[in-house]
Structure 1
Amino acid sequence: MPPGKYKTCWKLWGGCLAAFFLLIAGLLLADRLCPLPLHNVRPARIVVTEDGTPLWRFADENGVWRYPVEPDEVSPRYLEALINYEDRWFWHHPGVNPLSLVRAAWQWVRNGEVVSGGSTLTMQVARLIDPQPRTITGKLIQTARALQLEWHLSKKQILTLYLNRAPFGGTLEGVGAASWAYLGKSPAHLTDAEAALLAVLPQAPSRLRPDRWSERAQKARDKVLARMQSEHIWSAKRVREAMQEPVWLAPRQSPQLAPLLARYLLTQDNHQRIVTTIDATLQSQLETLALNWKHRLPPKTSLAILVVDHQTMKVRGWVGSVDLNDDSRFGHVDMVRAVRSPGSLLKPFLYGLALDEGLIHPGSLLQDVPRRFGDYRPGNFDSDFNGPVSMSEALVRSLNLPAVQVLDALGPKNFAGHLRNIGLNLRLPAAAEPNLSLILGGAGTRLDELVSAYSAFAREGKVARLRLQPQQPLVERRLLSPGSAWIIRRILGGEEQPLPDAALPAVAPFAWKTGTSYGYRDAWAIGISPRYLIGVWTGRPDATPVAGQYGFASAVPVMNQVNTLLRANTGLAQNREPADPRPGSVTSGTICWPGGQSLPEGDSNCRRRVFTWLLNDSQPPTLLAPGQEGPSGIVQRLWLNSKGLRVGADCKDAHSATLLLWPLPLEPWLPARERRDMRLPAVSTQCPPVMQTNLSPLLLLGVRDGAMVKPPAGQTMLSMPLSTQGGGHEQWWFLNGDALPQQGNHVTLSLKHSGEYQVLVMDDSGQIAAAHFTLLPK
């Protein structure tokens, strides 16, 4: 080659290489200056069940709803129809199909306008993420974006973008949203006809909307089906059967389940698709049930329902209000998570902890009698008192005074600490400490926390957290021993009387507990079925009292309906329901009142026999409140002579004896033959005992020491009835040191003048009871 030509050739090659490198540099610079706008769109978000069923959707700033899917979550039928109809060389071209572009250019030259775009799926994705006008310049930009997509993303990623960005009419984008909205089903379960329909809709989503223009949509669908047959993708028989399926759709469906739960999870989970443990079918049934109850509830009253599978602790149903759209009932307030007074719902935990602490057993004698604890004077829901009751009876009847008595022995701080450890937080007023009012609803808590805590009775004493999402681990902490939890659950299920193992049902009966807060503000019911926990709350979200609203009347009927619904849904046979075997630590036994422990047959101190469950064979003695009895409590040590009369220890023929007496505050509820004056042997006149005062302590009732009182409104005089309990037969009364004419165990003071007063009573054994009080000016 001549030297001149040689140099010219190298110059040409050098220029080409320079141009190539400049082109590469230009492309890199363009890619850097104009990155793919993949993150410019704020994604729509959706809340779904574990099987993908949509519950609620949150549109993006343009009101667009998307249901994010991956290619392997879409029916293969749809992918076949889409790719073979839109871009059958999709898996092979670099983002642009040259043959299609040449065809489109020739059509443009011949017709003077764009007839066919020659777009690949990649180019359609480019147009979706960066819309351009249908001009030559716009086409060039779209082509560049397609190449840019292929450079940065895999084919699967590009296909995923199309599946989630393709328009399907109105505010729907993506095949997932279209499948659920138009067909009411997952895109993974499309038929051939449905797959073909959804493959063609993005070509003209407004003109082909199947819920508005079914004939147009069917013609377009059939065109896709014909292409699938002509390309030998689907058989003729398969296509013929698909074409026979008419396009007739109900109006577009929008996911509208568990809105308040969805709103809460939106703040807890940053994913575009938020997966929950909710059962869509059950959730729909529960929301329908709540709406049916709406007009049976008082005005401005709402309702909350929570259903949890206590085997997995997955939340299956969450109804936060009776009607989301009813502002008069505060429908947007989620009462599952609202802090409210639990009423008596904490009592099962108290008795279970007291069993484990060895303070009581299920047959223990408790006192349902009026009592004052400092400034706190609790009463029962029915304003009545029952005297001697067992722990089991007190729990079943939800009596207040026995619960306060047990909490006083266990300790309010100790009780609150146990509950806080398992996630049941009791909200108290600022600077307040746990006190005896806790057990009657004197603190706030939430329905979700309460239902979680009740899992202790279904999970052998362990409390597990609620699981709202499948990825959440099962976390649990022990609150009660297995035996204590089993006993409490059986009592709540109506099996407080022990049965032989052969007669004891292997499956625990449906157990439940109600609660009513002060002033009828909150009505509760929590149920424990063999498989589910059911929590129900009803009341006014603004905490206004609703007269006559209480747990048994307002919440229990809803709970029973939910339980019936669950049993109908599961259809479990009795032998398939989870068993609840009796733990080895639980046995049965017979104890005696008033002592609370077993006694031999014929023992005169066994005044009433009680058949009961026992935990670890423990038989703690009867629980007494401080200050109720003398130094020896209800156990009296006596010396009797041969005639059975009480004598001194040094008297002739004296022998020791033990007498168990009923706790003194129970006297008014006892038969006459069981009262102390009848139970205690007569005193020998020849050799009486030296001291008797501790046999019957003298108690003053009707006024407490340090009280401040005043006459009723409109009256100038205060009438104050007082009485005593215990003490000797003869009693004398004194007011400010002056003897009163009345004698006996009751007196009525008539006070006119304000000031300081002291009332004192003394009996014939020398015992004294006194109280100082202040009469305020009227």
Structure 2
Amino acid sequence: MTPRALFALALGLALAAGGRDAFDGWIAATDLPVTEVAVGTEVLARDGTILRAFAVADGRWRLAPGPVDPGYLADLVAYEDARFYAHDGVDLLAVARAAGQAVFAGHVVSGASTLTMQVARLLEEGPTGSLAGKIRQARVALALEHRLTKAQILDLYLRLAPYGGNIEGVRAAALAWFGKEPRRLTPAEAALLIALPQSPEARRPDRDAKAAKAARDRVLDRLVAEGALAADEGAVAKSEPVPTRRRDFPALAPHLTERLAAAAPPGARIETTIDKGLQAAAEKLARRAVTGLGPQVSAAMILADHQSGEILAQVGGADWTNTKRAGFVDLSMALRSPGSTLKPFVYALAFDDGLAHPETLIEDRPVAFGTWHPQNFDHQFRGTIPVRQALTFSLNIPVVSLTEALGPARLLSTLRRTGARVDLPGSGAPGLAISLGGLGISLADLVQAYAALARLGRPVHLSAEVGRAHPLEGQLFGPVAAWQVGNILSKIPPPPGGAPNRIAYKTGTSYGHRDALAVGFDGRHVGGVWLGRADGTPVPGAFGGELAAPVLFELFDRVGAERVALPPPPPATLILPNARLPQPLQRFRPRDAAFAAAPEGGPEVTFPPDGAEVETGEGGLTVKLRGGVPPFTWLANGAPVAVATRARENTLALTGPGFVSLTVLDAEGRSASAQVRLTQ
């Protein structure tokens, strides 16, 4: 008689003859294996599907069970352990049947192993053929039934059952063999998942599809014979082919998911805001973008919803498995030179301070800032031009002049207020070159800074983790200044094939063609693209406008119907030609001219200009001044409306319609006036 037959007979006799109390004590004293089964970490997309799954520490693919097809569960119990919900871990009827069959046949005809006993074996990874092993499984199974519910025992089976190779658990098996979650399975798929754990290596579909199909069909035949499956359904299921290859587990956003998983405990389920379709499209776009640029060139990109702060797609590299492209490096988080992409922030600050207006004339001529003689990218000079044109053409000399007037520390402080981490070369104070990209900032932080521009000066923390995105405190600059910059950027001609006036965007190329960038936004989304080499070596001929801008526009094209137009101008926006601007705004004056004359000339009203028609906002009329000595007093038609204020920008409680005479007095009694017409 075989060991299994002897076990079946011995266990049956022992249960019949043993004393109940002694038996219960024996079961209660069982030293149970650990029932906390490790599962792999999962990072989820915004729709709850898997972005990326991770194997457990020993390399096995084992995932926490999710929703499972109830038809599969019913078929599993019917096939493996019909009395699962009635027995206490050992099915005495099955034991007696197996023993009787073994005695009369002289060999094992059928087994008596229950699902609970299979769980006991899987937990201990114990032997299956020896008598001692079977007795141990029975004891552990009985103890498990005393301490766990049926649902908990079934959950352990769904986690631990082997399905070939390093695949364990029904969820990992469904993803590996069918490429889908097990919440909905065909009868053929369910039957294969029932058959595989009985002999997972011999029946692996990718190694022996015929053996897998034969085993599956035997399960289907028995389910039909026992009435668990209709005959016609069984016939259809048997005609369905079995898979012949193992599918890869999801691995989208590899750099982001790696970072999130490393910061979470093992087995965590991490929810993100990543849009799975956009992420897949962005990764495909990144791979295509580097085609033909050399084996070391990579790409990174980010797309976010600046209204909510949620990151929708983040690509850290063109190919994360390619060592030549340093695919393991997350280039969306690497500190790189931003090139000219910081220039819009200089103009926004200048507009907000009343130093300039989009139609202000500014000089683009050879000039020295100490010993530094900056040059334009094309080494040409355009003379006297409007500020709008200076930003559109990304000229260097005008923006350095404005940076000198503002102070480079002001630009640096503004960037840091967006939440960006900025790395300055050396240990000294920031110099004028930071406006041309003379600092280090990551693509992620650069996109976050542009989100503040898109939000009319209100910074926001971008995040791909659910619940982590949030507005930041403060206002970088006024909504009028932010809108003016966005309006200029939206008029920059798009790359070939790009839709005009759709995206406010800026390109950048770092010194030596090391980085090619494009960053932009519309009414809802903000995005950025970087191309270059991970080691920072030059990419000859790489320009942001030629390489990165077309990719940025394609990235925005993937948004589809969710595109939102750029906003209209805020009510206080001054839209006038140069000739109608206030005298101080008609031509930019360098820092020494603008500030040295202020004590003698007293205060100047820079907004609203004299004779302007201005629409008041919800809080009243915004006024700005330059020069003078604080504190200041504002009068409207001779009546004080703001007293002893030190700010050079105030909101006066004035509403239209009608004309009003504004006067500002400084601490030395000097004054300036403007006559304006207010509208609502």
Instruction: Specify the TM-score bucket, using the shorter chain as the normaliser.
Output: 0.7 to 0.9
1:221 aligns with 216
1:686-765 to 2 correspondences below 5 Å: none
User: What is the CA–CA distance in structure 1 between the aligned matches of 2:418 and 2:425, rounded to whole Å?
Assistant: 21
Percent identical among aligned pairs is 41
Distance 1:432 1:90 in 2: 75
Which protein, 1 or 2, shows the higher relative CO under an 8 Å CA cutoff with sep ≥ 6?
Answer: 2
1:201 aligns with 2:196: yes
Structure 1 376/190 Cα, relative in aligned 2: closer, same or farther at 3 Å? farther
Question: Shift of the alpha carbon at 1:440?
Answer: 1.0
Distance of aligned partners of 1:220 and 1:474 in 2 relative to their CA distance in 1, 3 Å threshold: farther
One-letter identity of the residue aligned with 1:541: A
**1:310 CA drift (Å):** 3.4
Task: Kindly provide the CA deviation profile for residues 606-650 of structure 1, in whole angstroms up to 9, marking residues without a partner as x.
Answer: xxxxxxxxxxxxx846432234699769x99xxxxxxxxxxxxxx
Q: Secondary structure at the match of 1:189?
A: coil
- C-alpha separation in 2, matches of 1:479 and 1:126: 63
Q: Does 1:494 align with 2:491?
A: yes
C-alpha distance in structure 1 between counterparts of 2:294 and 2:405, whole Å: 40
Q: Which moves more between the two structures, 260-269 or 170-179?
A: 260-269
- 2:527–2:552 contact (8 Å) kept in structure 1: yes
> Aligned residue for 1:442?
438
Say if 1:375 and 1:201 are closer, same or farther in 2 by CA, change over 3 A: same
Query: Is 1:168 aligned to residue 152 of structure 2?
Result: no
1:568-609 C-alpha deviation (Å, 9 max, x unpaired)? xx3x2xxx743544244344532436xx8248xxxxxxxxxx
Asked if the contact 1:165–1:173 (Cα under 8 Å) also holds between the matched residues in 2, the reply is yes
Alpha-carbon offset, residue 550 of structure 1: 2.0
Equivalence for 2:238: 243
Q: Secondary structure at the match of 2:518?
A: strand
The aligned residue for residue 590 of structure 1 is 576
Counting only pairs closer than 5 Å after superposition, residues 236-275 of structure 1 correspond to structure 2 as: 236-272=231-267, 273-275=269-271
Q: Structure 1 CA distance, aligned partners of 2:239 and 2:297?
A: 52
1:128 pairs with one of 103, 122, 146: 122
Query: Once superposed, what is the RMSD of the aligned Cα atoms?
Result: 3.2
Using the TM superposition, name which of 19-28 and 434-443 deviates more: 19-28
- SS of the counterpart of 2:463? coil
Instruction: Give, in whole Å, the separation in 2 of the partners of 1:223 and 1:309.
Output: 53
Aligned length: 573
Shift of 1:138: 0.9
Task: Tell me the distance in 2 between the aligned counterparts of 1:113 and 1:480.
Answer: 86
Other-structure match for 2:72: 78
Q: What is residue 764 of structure 1 aligned with on the other side?
A: none
Query: What are the residue-to-residue correspondences of 1:14-93 with 2, within 5 Å?
Result: 30-31=29-30, 34-39=31-36, 43-70=39-66, 73-93=67-87
Measured in 1, the distance between the counterparts of 2:334 and 2:585 equals 40
> Matched residues in 2 for 1:113 and 1:412: separation?
89
Q: Determine if the alignment matches structure 1 residue 147 to structure 2 residue 131.
A: no
CA contact (8 A) 2:461 2:469 kept: no
CA distance in 2, matches of 1:205, 1:332: 34
Aligned partners of 1:45 and 1:66 also within 8 Å? no
Describe the SS at the equivalent of 1:188. Answer: coil
SS in 2 for 1:81: helix
Matches of 2:576 and 2:163 in 1, distance apart?
Answer: 74
- Given the alignment, which residue of 346, 350, 353 partners 1:354? 350
- Aligned residue in 2 for 1:615: none
**Residues 1:560 and 2:556 are matched in the alignment:** no
| Matches of 2:80 and 2:467, distance apart in 1 | 38
Shift of 1:231: 4.1
SS at match of 1:304: strand
Amino acid at match of 1:118: A
Counterpart Cα distance in 1 of 2:413 and 2:148: 55
User: What amino acid is the match of 1:448?
Assistant: A
Higher Cα Rg: structure 1 or 2? 1
Aligned in 2, Cα 1:37/1:413: closer, same or farther, shift over 3 Å?
Answer: same
Alignment match of 2:319 (pick from 323, 332, 336) = 323
User: 2:368 and 2:222 mapped to 1: Cα distance?
Assistant: 88
Aligned residue number for residue 656 of structure 1: none
CA distance in 1: counterparts of 2:125 and 2:472, whole angstroms: 52
Contact 1:125 1:162 (8 Å CA) reproduced: yes
Cα distance 1:389–1:471, how it changes in 2: closer, same or farther (>3 A)?
A: same
Alpha-carbon distance, 1:457 to partner: 3.5
Q: 1:300 to 1:623 in 2, by over 3 A?
A: same
1:367–1:402 Cα contact (<8 Å) kept: yes
Q: What SS does the corresponding residue of 2:256 show, helix, strand or coil?
A: helix
Q: Which 10-residue stretch deviates more, 519-528 or 423-432?
A: 423-432
Displacement after TM superposition at 1:360 (Å): 2.3
Question: Residue 340 of structure 1 is aligned with which of 323, 327, 336?
Answer: 336
**Equivalent AA in structure 1 for residue 509 of structure 2:** T
Question: Per-residue deviation at 1:531?
Answer: 4.4
Deviations 1:423-475 (A, max 9, x none): 11211135232332211111111011111222223334333323323343544
- Whether the 8 Å contact between 1:508 and 1:579 is mirrored in structure 2 is no
**How do residues 183-582 of structure 1 correspond to structure 2 at under 5 angstroms?**
183-272=178-267, 273-477=269-473, 478-494=475-491, 509-564=502-557, 566-567=558-559, 570=560, 572=561, 577-582=563-568
CA contact (8 A) 1:52 1:186 kept: no
Is the CA contact (8 Å cut-off) linking 1:36 and 1:149 kept in structure 2? no
Distance 1:124 1:415, change over 3 A: same
**Residue type matched to 1:522 in 2?**
D
The CA deviation string for residues 536-555 of structure 1, in whole angstroms up to 9 with x for no partner, is 11111111123322211221
Question: In 2, Cα distance between the equivalents of 1:329 and 1:625?
Answer: 45
The 3 A distance-change label for structure 1 pair 376 and 107 is: farther
Residue 624 of structure 1, aligned match among 581, 584, 589? 589
> How far, CA to CA, are the matches of 1:475 and 1:227 in structure 2?
61
CA shift, 1:109, in A, is 4.9
Residue type of the partner of 1:342?
P
Q: Aligned-pair distance for 1:175?
A: 1.5
Q: 1:244 to 1:415 in 2, by over 3 A?
A: same
**How far has the Cα of 1:513 moved from its partner?**
0.9
C-alpha separation in 2, matches of 1:333 and 1:630: 47
SS of equivalent to 1:590: coil
Unaligned runs of 5+ in 1: 1-18, 497-506, 600-618, 637-778
Residue 333 of structure 1, CA deviation: 1.4
Match of 1:178 in 2: 173
1:157 Cα deviation after fit: 2.5
Deviation of 1:375 (Å):
3.9
SS in 2 for 1:536: strand
Question: Following the alignment from structure 1 to structure 2, what is the Cα–Cα distance between the partners of residues 197 and 23?
Answer: 38
* 1:64 and 1:173 in contact (8 A); partners too: yes
Distance in 2 between the 1:377 and 1:148 partners?
84
1:117-137: CA deviations, max 9, x gaps? 422222212111112112221
Structure 2 Cα separation of the partners of residues 480 and 98 of structure 1? 79
Supply the distance in 2 between the matched residues of 1:148 and 1:414 (Cα, whole angstroms): 70
2:177 and 2:247 in contact (8 A); partners too: yes
TM-score by length of 1: 0.67
SS in 2 for 1:409: helix
Q: 1:250 to 1:458 in 2, by over 3 A?
A: farther
| Alignment check: 8 A CA contact 2:460 2:469 kept | no
CA separation of 1:577/1:518 partners in 2, compared to 1, >3 Å: closer, same or farther? closer
Letter in 1 for 2:581: Q
Q: Which runs of 5+ in 2 are unaligned?
A: 1-18, 494-499, 602-680
Shift of 1:418: 2.4
Inter-partner Cα distance in structure 1 for 2:39 and 2:182: 20
Residue 519 and residue 394 in structure 1: after superposition, are their counterparts in 2 closer, same or farther (change >3 A)? same
Could you tell me how far 1:305 is from its partner in structure 2?
Answer: 2.1
Distance across 2 between alignment mates of 1:249 and 1:88: 31
Deviation at 1:61, TM superposition (A): 4.1
Q: CA deviation at 1:522?
A: 1.0
Instruction: Please say if residues 211 and 252 of structure 1, whose CA atoms lie closer than 8 Å, have aligned partners that are also in contact.
Output: no
